[in-house]
Amino acid sequence: MKTKVNKKAAQFDELSKKLHDLSIVMLQVRKWSGAKRLRPEDFPDQDNLPPMEAISLGSKRLIANEHLAPFTRLRQQAITACHEVGVKFWGGSVFAVPNRKMATLKRQLDRISEEFAAEKRKFLMSYDERFERWVTGFPDFEGVLRDSKVTKEYIDNAMSCSFAVCHITPSKDPGEVHKTLAGLTGELLGDIADVATKLFESFPTTRSINQRQIRVLKRLADKVAGLEFLDSGIYPVRAMIEEFVGSVPTDTALDPGQTGRYLALLQTLASPEAVQKIMSAAHDEVRPQEDVDQHPPSTTAGTTVGQGNLFSMPF
């Protein structure tokens, strides 16, 4: 009995260590929309306005969209940087990232935050001039737009780019810890399927496979390698991708035979059922039957992590 208890404790310690090996990264990127909501009083002929129950008045744009494009680009860069090494956690812009990837990711996010701040300074310096250029282009609505102008202080407070990092304190309940890991693994499998599906669906347009698509697969393999400690069954999935990437040219397009293998690989990776079979076979090889009975593989692409009493997150 004591041996069995010790074994369960060791298994729980192993599961908990996996959560300790993760950092939680919370992106906080806020952008100004460049617009304000239309009001009924913005229209002189209010008798002919549509009923509010049926039609929304929408918004009035205060500046050209192109001037806000740098902030959209930088926000997407920050999300992409996190997504390339981690998985979504709780949805939104929160990611679970392996600790060993954090130094590189932090440098990327610091650079993006600095560039965001520099772009905001430039935007605020030219705001008045750009606003004038915009409103004078709409003489019939110039008065409405001028009355809606917001201050630089408002924009300054509405735009920011930062991130916070914290670590997980696992629950004392082994079942909840296992559920959390299963959810994270499910997110990873969902990401694999998404990448494979997008590559497969782009093939009818490109009709050829070049190094851009191969680089996407290589980045995917690197991401899986960083997170495969979540579930030992993922290793053969990563090995499949690496084997293919390592077998094709690095400087030319793929020949017909290599293209066929590429499409077959994508079909496998895009199928949660096919990936589950690969993982189940790996579990059967490396885990004793007793462990399989106690903790059957339960990761399913798209599984989300519940927010209940799983763990605390000290800042």
Q: Quick one: tokens of 49?
A: 């306005």
Each residue's pLDDT tens digit, 77-90: 999 999 999 999 97
Q: Mind listing the pLDDT tens digit for each residue in 263-302?
A: 999 999 999 889 989 999 988 775 444 444 444 443 333 3
- Report how far apart, in Å, the C-alpha atoms of 268 and of each of 81, 103, 132, 169, 180 are: 26, 33, 55, 35, 25
Give the pTM. 0.80
Block residue for tokens 């780019």: 161
Could you give the CA distance from residue 214 to residue 254 in angstroms, rounded to a whole number? 10
Q: In whole angstroms, what is the distance from residue 250 CA to residue 129 CA?
A: 49
For 17-66, the pLDDT digits (tens) are: 888 899 999 999 999 999 888 777 766 666 665 555 545 567 889 999 99
At 15-26, the pLDDT tens digits run 788 888 999 999
- Which residue would you say has higher pLDDT here, 253 or 306? 253
Residue 199 has pLDDT above 60, yes or no: yes
Encode pLDDT of 104-132 as tens digits. Answer: 999 999 999 999 999 999 999 999 999 99
What are the residues whose beta carbons fall under 8 Å from the beta carbon of 5, sequence distance 6 or more?
none
Which tops the pLDDT comparison, 99 or 289? Answer: 99
283 or 238, greater pLDDT: 238
On the 0-12 / 13-18 / 19+ scale of CB atoms within 10 A, 288 is exposed
